[in-house]
Amino acid sequence: MAPPRNVVKIAVQMRDAIPQLIRLDQAKPLAAVLKEVCDAWSLVHSERYALQFADGHRKYITENDLEAERLLGGLQCGSRERRRETLQHLVLLAPDMTFAQEVISRDGLQRLGTIIEDGDDLGELLALALRAFLELMEHGMVSWETLSIPFVRKVVCYVNMNLMDASVQPLALRLLESVTLSSPALGQLVKSEVPLDRLLVHLQVMNQQLQTKAMALLTALLQGASSTERKHMLDYLWQRNLRQFIYKNIIHSAAPLGDEMAHHLYVLQALMLGLLEPRMRTPLDPYSQEQREQLQALRQAAFDPEGESLGTGLSADRRRSLCAREFRKLGFSNSNPAQDLERVPPGLLALDNMLYFSRHAPSAYSRFVLENSSREDKHECPFARSSIQLTVLLCELLRIGEPCSETAQDFSPMFFSQDQSFHELFCVSIQLLNKTWKEMRATQEDFDKVMQVVREQLARTLALKPSSLELFRTKVNALPYGEVLRLRQTERLHQEGTLAPPILELREKLKPELMGLIRQQRLLRLCEGTLFRKISSRRRQDKLWFCCLSPNHKVLQYGDVEEGSSPPTPESLPEQLPVADIKALLTGKDCPHVREKGSGKQNKDLYELAFSVSYDHGEEEAYLNFIAPSKREFHLWTDGLSALLGSPMGSEQTRLDLEQLLTMETKLRLLELENVPIPEQPPPIPPPPTNFNFCYDCSIPEP
């Protein structure tokens, strides 16, 4: 009889005792199980004992833990070696929630805090005490705000000391980071006691763990500061060349970048870009003299590059009219540009971007504005409107103004490669927008479509995490509109499952059969025949001739016909060319009848429709020359002749027909698998049976 489900057999061992194999009834109270185990070993006070996993995480399976009391007693022992062993054991067991509750309830944190505050040993004992303290605090049973100011100041001293054990300072920095993030009051204390220069010293030490913890405390201090304080702190750090050091010695370090450091760099990037949020949230003030002058500077940079005064000698009304017209040419939707910049976001950040572009790339700015303002074919790209919308797009892609994620690691090295990285990114992006606008031959009605393509170009390139702005420029310019369309098509096919390995394998198996079907259609089309025009030396096309393939596919039959007459029967055609005599198929410029016709536009059209077959005529090589009436007829005839010669049919029409047939046939084959996920790999073949001593007698009827 099978044992009940709640009864399991487990082995229980204890030091200096013979192990037991017991039947554990999980329905029994744990205290009863412990009493039975203790009775077997003749132990009294079973309530003082606990069960602990011997393998893996070594967690306790009880709430009352004598081990906690024993370890805490060992912390007060005078022997340094005993205290070290006790702390090591405490660090090992502290992640266990049950054990941590027992330690904390017995004032374990206070005892560890005393060891840390006394600082009698600045080496291994202090590091073990800090680690055990951190592990216990990580359970969240005690708030970081309960820590005393003297305790926090003592930990700060460990961070600020010059000669300190390498294992202590990373733990002290980690503790201060948790304090700063959890307690605003203690965070202010840490900010006032730990100078930024000290953190810079830790960051420049070639110790990856110390660098990571110093970066963690730095980002915690920045997160806890006000926007004004954060700007001053970042300005000071940038003046001390922190950005250059991060880019050269952390991001491009020989050692791989850890996940924790990647997260802190993401936070630092988000805080750095977050400095733009006030400008993004502030609309343009039409009564601000400074902002009006900035708008005028933007207009003058485009239309008065030499600094000439607008409309010298003209009346005030005339000058205002000219100014409004030039703002329209600049791409503002309103004659008063302040109305365009009242929208938030992007607010004043869009104006900052436009001014930066006009001042740091003046030639590109003038070319953009003048090239589009002088066009009259409705294909002009409005600079101001594009800049405003592009600024909104960049803010969305870079998540400016959004809170930092607690787990994200997707920082971009490009933003640490140079100063003013956001404005520089805008300069590259606005030129990309103009390039994409031309590729799409867009009009004002297509503005939103262009912005969608530009969003995709920027998002795809940012996802590659280019290491510098120049690399970003190269990669984004290598992603033109046509490539975006191709990628969209590929992704759509992936979503439909068309490019899954089993589907691709099925398509490959179907190809020979479908290519045979296309070949058959091409030969039938040749048997039907086609009317071709003759081109004389005077470029006249007034003569017609008819050519077809014989039903047995062995002879090409052709001859002249009168215009307006019905197609002749194959038997009435006077000329014949055996297929066996055909040597080669020529197309385009290789054909003798268009080889020397020059390079005019009309000849280029003929090149696309011309084909010839060469054959032996006695001792000389002769040609039968064709000018197809349409591109489709050209593809059909060249495919058919290639099939007759045993060559592959490589026309564009064959590719399209094959794709259409493959798509239809594949969908028909997969009708019964609709909404059924198709695995990437085939299921494994089961192993063969141990023997083949079996048979099935078909003569015996089933019941």
pLDDT tens digits, one per residue of 183-233? 899 999 999 999 999 999 988 888 889 999 999 999 999 999 998 999 999
* Under 8 Å between Cβ of 417 and 469: yes
Residues whose CB falls within 8 Å of the CB of residue 307, separated by 6 or more in sequence, listed in order: 300
Lowest mean pLDDT among 298-302, 493-497, 533-537, 659-663: 493-497
pLDDT tens digits, one per residue of 641-699? 999 999 999 899 999 999 899 988 988 888 887 777 777 777 888 898 888 777 766 67
Tell me the β-bridge partners of 546. 531, 559
Average pLDDT rounded to a whole number, residues 472-489: 91
| Stated pTM of the model | 0.67
Number of H helices, E strands in the chain: 28, 9
Residue 67: pLDDT band by 50, 70, 90 thresholds? low
d(CA 96, CA 58): 8
Residue 70: pLDDT band by 50, 70, 90 thresholds? confident
* Under 8 Å between Cβ of 483 and 464: no
Amino acid at the residue 148: S
| DSSP H or E segment with residue 114 | helix 108-118
pLDDT given for residue 64 in this prediction: 42
Q: H-type helices in 464-591, by residue range?
A: 469-477, 481-495, 501-528
On average, the pLDDT of the chain sits at 85
DSSP-assigned states of every residue in 568-592: PPGGG--EEEEGGGEEEEEEGGGST
Q: H-type helices in 361-498, by residue range?
A: 362-373, 383-397, 421-440, 447-463, 469-477, 481-495
How many Cβ atoms are within 10 Å of 34's Cβ, its own excluded? 21
d(CA 186, CA 175): 12
pLDDT tens digits, one per residue of 444-454? 889 999 999 99
| DSSP H or E segment with residue 536 | none
Residue 63: pLDDT band by 50, 70, 90 thresholds? very low
pLDDT tens digits, one per residue of 502-540? 888 888 999 999 999 999 999 999 999 999 888 765 545
Residue 672 token pair: 């019964």
Lowest mean pLDDT among 202-206, 312-316, 412-416: 312-316
Average pLDDT rounded to a whole number, residues 596-621: 75
More confident residue, 150 or 593: 150
21: closest CA among 36, 3, 1? 36
How many Cβ atoms are within 10 Å of 482's Cβ, its own excluded? 10
Q: Is the pLDDT of residue 598 over 60?
A: no
Longest dimension (CA), the chain: 122
How many Cβ atoms are within 10 Å of 30's Cβ, its own excluded? 15
Lowest mean pLDDT among 83-92, 114-123, 133-142, 439-448: 114-123
Residue 199 token pair: 């953190």
pLDDT tens digits, one per residue of 538-577? 545 557 899 999 999 999 999 988 877 788 888 888 899 9
CA distances for 130 relative to 121, 177, 179, 658, angstroms: 12, 13, 14, 70
